[in-house]
Amino acid sequence: MKKYLFLLLISCVSVVSMAQDSLRIKLDSLLRDPMFETSQVGLMVYDLTADSVYYQHNARQLLRPASTMKLVTAITALDQLGSAYQFRTRLYHTGTINNGRLNGDIYCVGGFDPMVDMDDVKAFARELHSMGVDTLRGRIVVDCSMKENLDYGEGWCWDDDNPRLKPLMVGRKDIFASALVDEMINDSIVIESIQQSEGRCPANATHVATRTHSMDQVLLRMMKQSDNFYAEAMFYQIAASTNHRPAKASDARNIVKQLIRKLGLGSQPYKIADGSGLSLYNYVSAELETKLLRYAFLHSNIYDHLLPSLPIAGMDGTLEKRMMKGAASSNVRAKTGTLTGISSLAGYCVAANGHQLCFCIINQGVMRNQSGKDFQDRVCQVLCE
């Protein structure tokens, strides 16, 4: 009986080994594509169930990640800030309210919440009205001191359609003060002399209201739609967690580097420039992104919030029109990345044997981004079959 069980075990191990060898042969075959005569690829697949590297090719080669950089930002933010973190925009006033007249200034303090919209502005105006304010005799001041005075990220192309990085925007537009004026007037608040300016809110100002959006809300759009503005807002939240005022991109970079050291990769010469992947100065590796995905998987406080934010193959987000058929469809959950000459994909999938996998593929030097996407999709189909 023991001999039978031993032989059965050996047989099962052999079958698994043969299946793995077959998969590796298929991946090797994909890497013989003529496209790699003129382009590069960094690839790593990690078996999370077995906790071992499954496949790698140029995994340590430094490459530009494009928008898979958002994975680095998201995982760092969840690790540093926590899933309960709130993005805040606050309203204050100075002076006193006498017989409905506010003899003082209104301060709008930006916290770089990318989701601020007209509903938030209207809520602030209603709150002033509910406090009994019917007349303003003072200024409306926008406080953008939360972050350094840089409108664009380091290494961004001047001719790209880049988001402006101000910490108090309404629907991505720098109109908060004028929008608040309009809503106050709509709420029958008389503004004796419309004066708008920028300045820092005094420490003794009176709090009026705070509007918030959750980490999960911001992550969902940042990852599903690959929103660069949202990613840079997240990057500056990481920076602000150092309590430096103003928060600087260099603060966020240092925290990302701390996490990289925690992964045991601190000796590698990575270059972290921004949070979105727009910068041409970013240089990471497939190994780094794969090990970050493994780190997230091992920490449920990160993974439980990261996974739902990732695009699902053939279903939604930036993967809605990719891998619509086959074993990868509705299986692969991954972040896409696209810049001129760069195409990338990094995330999770489940293999046919039930093993959880994480992977990163970075194609560089691809003049047709579609060829990079097609290669990535074929890799994912092989991993899921």
Q: What is the mean pLDDT of residues 124-148?
A: 96
pLDDT tens column, 3-25 = 554 444 444 444 445 557 888 99
What percentage of residues in the chain have a pLDDT greater than 70? Answer: 95
What percentage of residues in the chain have a pLDDT greater than 90? Answer: 91
pLDDT tens column, 24-57 = 999 999 999 999 999 999 999 999 999 999 999 9
For 227, list phi and psi in degrees, rounded to 5: -85, 115
Name, in order, each residue with C-beta under 8 angstroms of 379's C-beta and a sequence gap of 6 or more.
27, 30, 43, 359, 361
pLDDT higher than 50, residue 223: yes
pLDDT higher than 50, residue 75: yes
CATH architecture of 87-214: 3-Layer(bba) Sandwich (3.50)
> What are the residue ranges of helices labelled H in 94-227?
118-130, 176-186, 215-224
pLDDT higher than 90, residue 210: yes
Q: What is the mean pLDDT of residues 123-133?
A: 96
Radius of gyration of the chain (CA): 25
Residue found by looking up tokens 């594509």 in the block: 33
Q: What is the mean pLDDT of residues 153-165?
A: 91
Record: fold of 36-84+219-384? Beta-lactamase (3.40.710)
What are the sequence ranges of the domains in the chain? Answer: 36-84+219-384, 87-214
